[in-house]
Amino acid sequence: IQVTQSPSSLSASVGDRVTITCRASQGMNSWLGWYQQKPEKAPKPLIYDTSKLESGVPSRFSGSRSGTDFTLTISSLQPEDFATYYCQQYSSYPPTFGGGTKVDIK
């Protein structure tokens, strides 16, 4: 299963609502996760099983799906949220990542 992530980059302001989408190439279950990566750092898990927040992740992050479209939403962007976000499907082997979305300051 390939996952196509969009947009590849976006510019936003603090307080904005941000939405990132991953589209799966075929039907799959809810085994999709989201990671946040800051420069020179390892990815940090945010969400697993489409919508379950990892421990310690702020509630402004949420995940949802509609068919083969999976969405990461940041309800009110904070300064520490400027980063690159990746989706990853683990519904079928091999696991695959989206191409990433870089969120920077407008």
Partner 1 sequence: QVQLVESGGGVVQSGTSLRLSCAASGFTFSNHGIHWVRQAPGKGLEWVAVLYYDAITEYYADSVKGRFTISRDNSKNTVYLEMNSLRAEDTAVYYCVRDWNIRASAIYYFDYWGQGTLVTVSS
Which residues of this chain interact with partner 1, rule CB under 8 A? 31, 33, 35, 41-45, 48, 54, 86, 88, 90, 93-100
The nearer residue to partner 1, 32 or 74, going by C-beta atoms, is 32
Q: CB of residue 35 vs partner 1: minimum separation in angstroms? A: 8
Q: CB of residue 18 vs partner 1: minimum separation in angstroms? A: 19
| Torsions phi, psi for 68 (to 5 deg) | -95, 10
The nearer residue to partner 1, 75 or 82, going by C-beta atoms, is 82
Is there a cis peptide before residue 43, judged by omega within 30 degrees of 0?
no
Q: CB of residue 27 vs partner 1: minimum separation in angstroms? A: 18
Q: What is the CA radius of gyration of the chain?
A: 13
Tokens 């609502």, residue located: 17
Question: Hey, what are 42's tokens?
Answer: 């390892």
